[in-house]
Structure formats: C-alpha cells, structure tokens
Chain A
Amino acid sequence: MIRKLLAVVGASGCALGMAMIAPASANAADSWSFQTALNPIVANKVSGTGASWITVTGTTAEVKIQVNGLLNGSPHAQHIHIDAQGQCPTAPQQHNGLPSITVADGAPFYGTIGTSLTNDGDTSPAAALAVTQYPTAGSYTYARTIQVDPSVVANLQKGTAVLVVHGIDYNGNGSYDNVLGASELDASLPAEATDPALCGKYEPMQMAAVPDGAADTGGGSTAISGTGSQTGIAIGAAGLLAVAGAATISARRRRSEQD
C-alpha cells in the first residue's frame, strides 16, 4: 500500500508531497491527546471563552488554543500550570478593596507554571512574564509545537495540568490599569495584566492523536470550473463526460430535494 502510494505520488508529481512520503508517524501506541474547555474567571469580570487541545508524543507537544472575548490589544500570558489539585479557582479575595483572583490566589488550585506558551523562543517557566512574547488580540488562535518537561506530560496524564490565560479588564476601561493594584508577580505590571482570565483543566481524550486541521479528501476531478482547466488538472475526455453525467444527476436530485 505504501509502495503504491509512493509510486503514485512520484508519477503524478503532485502536491501530496511530504505528507504522503512520511505517512502515519504517530500511532495509538506513542501519542495521546488532551482537551479542555476554557471557562472565564467570573470573579475577575471576564466573559470570554476558549478551548485547547494538545497531542503529546514523547515530550513533543502540539498545542492548540482558541480564545474569544478577552481584552483586545493587550498581552495575554498563557501557561500550563502543574503539580496542584487540577482545579480552577472560584473564590475571590480582596485586592485593592475589590474582590478578585490573582495568580497567587489560584496557585493552590492549579499549581505552579510548567510551560509558558509563548509565540516564540523560551517556553520554560522563566518566560512566564515575557509579555512581548504572548498573543495580544482579544480573540486568537494559537498553534505551536514545543518540547515540554516530562513533569508536564505526567501532570497531563494525572489530570493535574491546567491551562490558564491571563490578562483581564476588571473595570472595563479597555486597558490594563492599577484598579486592582500592582501585580503580585511583578510590581511593574498592573494586577490586571497577570490576573487569570480563562482557566481549564486538561482531560485525556478518547482520540489518541488529534489531526491537525481539516481533511484533504478530494482530488478535484469532479470540480469543473472555469479555472480548473487553466491550471492543467488533467481530466481525460471520457472522465469529463462521466463526471458531467454524475454531476447532472446530483443536480437533479438536489433540486428535487429543494422542491
């Protein structure tokens, strides 16, 4: 089968390329995946949502995060927290006279930082507050393949790995300010910049390895459009006729459904 695929790829000189030449690298024996729904920290007056999933092979982690509805134009630090209860905090404390939840408040629940999910470079706990290295949009998708510490993998498997996305707008004024005082982590930053916004515990997935993106399940030979012929997609005359016939039938069927 593989030989056949390779032969075909070679013969057609076509775009499947790398993907087909190295098929099926991961399998059920060496990969597993985790997912979480990201819920807003309501006490911090966050209404955003999100989701994340990770496929781990060894210590290679393919991390995907989708975030919606956070403060736009401000950095959102995001970390995988480990080594605690695998929970998200809900009970606010008083900060600057206002009920809210800081990173320190949450730590007994979600633990310390295991991985910093930066855009580039360092992903260790040392990059936790590298604010220039994090997404700054209010809604974003994040995808990065990184090496993680074995302890992070162990926590994912134990159910004690928690994704926390930071950066809130407690007073709704459109930017991070000192309404809640300074951050307990870095006094040069407002607490709003580091307080947790979204939180979710990773659960094991029934799917061992989540595919990346969509599925390439068509070759285009039935897609006869004006542009199709320009790009030299080879369709034999006989094939064209057959395809046109099939498409017409489908068109009729579809129309009858609509009627």
Chain B
Amino acid sequence: MSSVRTLRAGILGAVLLALTACGAGQSAAPVAAPSASSTTSSSQSPTTSSPVPSASAEPSSPSAAPPAVEPPASDTAAPAAEPPSDLAAPPTGPVLPAAAPTALSVPAIGISSPLIELGRNADGTVEVPSLDDPDSKPGWYRNSPAPGTLGPAIILGHVDSREFGPGVFYSLQNMKAGDSIEVSRADGTVAEFVVDEVESVQKSEFPTLEVYGNLDHSGLRLITCGGEFDPDARSYESNIIVFASLAGSRSA
C-alpha cells in the first residue's frame, strides 16, 4: 500500500511536470526580439533535414503522371503571387478543396469543441488562445493550410490555463498512432485524419520544418505544451505535437 502510494506520488510529480504544456509570456523561444534582431549561436541544432517532398524531383520527372487528385486548390494560405515552381509532384493522398475549419473532434481523448482562429503575434510567435479563459477553445492557425488541403494544417490548444486547471488539450500526450481526429469544415464536410505519431520536443529545439514544412499530402498537427513548467518564465519547456494525415472525408 505504502509502496503504491509512493509510486503514485512519484508518478504524480512526474506526470504533473510532463503532462502540461507551455506557458505565458516570455517563452523559451530564443528569438523574441521584435525588430532587427540577430541571434547567432553555436549549437548542436537538430539536423533539420527539410521535408520538402520534391527535393530530388528535377523538373523533368513529373512527366505523364496523371494528377491523381485535384491540385491544391489555392487556399487562404497559399502565396497568391506565383505558383510553386518545383512543387509539382502530385499529392500522395486525398486532398479536399479549401474550406475553413469550424470544429474539432478527438474521440480518443474526449474532445469535441468549436474552433477559433489564431494569427501571428507581432513578435513572430504563434498566437495562442486565451490562457485566462477556463473554457479556452482550440484554434486553427489561419496562416496554415485549411485542414484537408495540401500541407500542414496547424491547430493549437492549451494543456492548461493560468488558474483554472486542465485545458482542452490536457490529454493530448496520451494520443497514439492510429487515433482518429475529425475536423468539421464550413463547406459541410468533415475531414478525417489519422494520427501518425506523437512527439514531445524541447521548445528550444522546436523542429520548425518538421512541423510547419511542406508536405506531399494533407496533414494536421495538434500542438500543446508539455514538459516542465518554468514558473519564472511562466512557460512550459516542451511542446507536445500530434502529427496526423488526412485519410478521407464525409458529409457532416
């Protein structure tokens, strides 16, 4: 009994630290200076091999391959000016036309919530939902592709609030490969994603291109915080990231 309690206490401590994610304000993000900042640091930065799918595809290769799916309907996030030069490789999975996401459902961890929209803060960091709302909603980062279109759609939610306990993504780290994620969209369709993997990463080594880089399919990333909470910075030291791919769609 006592050993159980001890064990639980130990786990409790560990889990409390490990489960919750990110903090307010001065995050661990090293580059917070707003304007002409320059930081150059020596580090064993992660070998970020870019996930550019067509890196090896020379202009000659996409010959007679029929466009299996309709091309990435230029959604709100696509640079309107010029078509992608070499990114002509057809998507490897289903791709939906652009439509704004309206709600998120993650049965495995009991999430069913409307979505808000998030932008980018003046310092370049991603806007997050309110940390002081006990009923804080997850949000779609509007500068990312709409869920269901080609590329990495980004949805962020809090692991906890400042004062009100667990947030909507409190249990995100319990997700597993194969779990389903559904995003309802303004066009009346539901984009059905399947989880590929769940990662916990140090914020100081945030794998930018792995999370935000180009994809050859329609992807989704759910992001929250994890790791230890730094009370001085009021920030968690890690991010929990769920990587998922579009498997199909249906009418709502």
List chain A positions with a Cβ less than 8 A from chain B.
1, 4-5, 8, 11-12, 14-20, 22-28, 31-33, 35-37, 49-51, 53, 55, 62, 64, 66-68, 86, 119-120, 135, 137-146, 157-159, 200-201, 203-225, 227-228, 230-231, 233-236, 239, 242-243, 246-248, 250-255, 257
User: A239 touching B163 by the CB < 8 A rule?
Assistant: yes
Q: Could you say which residues of chain B place their CB within 8 Å of the CB of A28?
A: 76-78, 142-143
User: A8 touching B130 by the CB < 8 A rule?
Assistant: yes
User: A228 touching B231 by the CB < 8 A rule?
Assistant: yes
User: B160 touching A220 by the CB < 8 A rule?
Assistant: yes
Q: Could you say which residues of chain B place their CB within 8 Å of the CB of A17?
A: 25
List chain B positions with a Cβ less than 8 A from chain A.
7-8, 11-13, 15-17, 19-32, 34-50, 52, 54-55, 72, 76-79, 81-82, 84-87, 116, 118-128, 130-133, 141-145, 150-152, 154, 156-167, 169-171, 174, 201, 203-204, 206, 208-209, 212-215, 223-226, 228-229, 231-236, 239
Which one of A55, A214, A227 contacts B27 once the chains associate, using CB atoms below 8 Å? A214
User: B158 touching A243 by the CB < 8 A rule?
Assistant: no
User: B31 touching A212 by the CB < 8 A rule?
Assistant: yes
Q: Could you say which residues of chain B place their CB within 8 Å of the CB of A216?
A: 22-25, 27, 125, 128, 131, 225, 235
Contacts A18-B123, A204-B79, A223-B20; is A26 near B143 (CB within 8 Å)? yes
Q: Could you say which residues of chain A place their CB within 8 Å of the CB of B81?
A: 32, 157
Which one of B19, B34, B52, B122 contacts A37 once the chains associate, using CB atoms below 8 Å? B52
Instruction: Summarize B's interface: helix, strand, loop or mixed.
Output: loop
User: A225 touching B12 by the CB < 8 A rule?
Assistant: no
Q: Given the complex of chains A and B, what is the CA–CA distance between A27 and B179 in angstroms?
A: 31
User: A35 touching B203 by the CB < 8 A rule?
Assistant: no
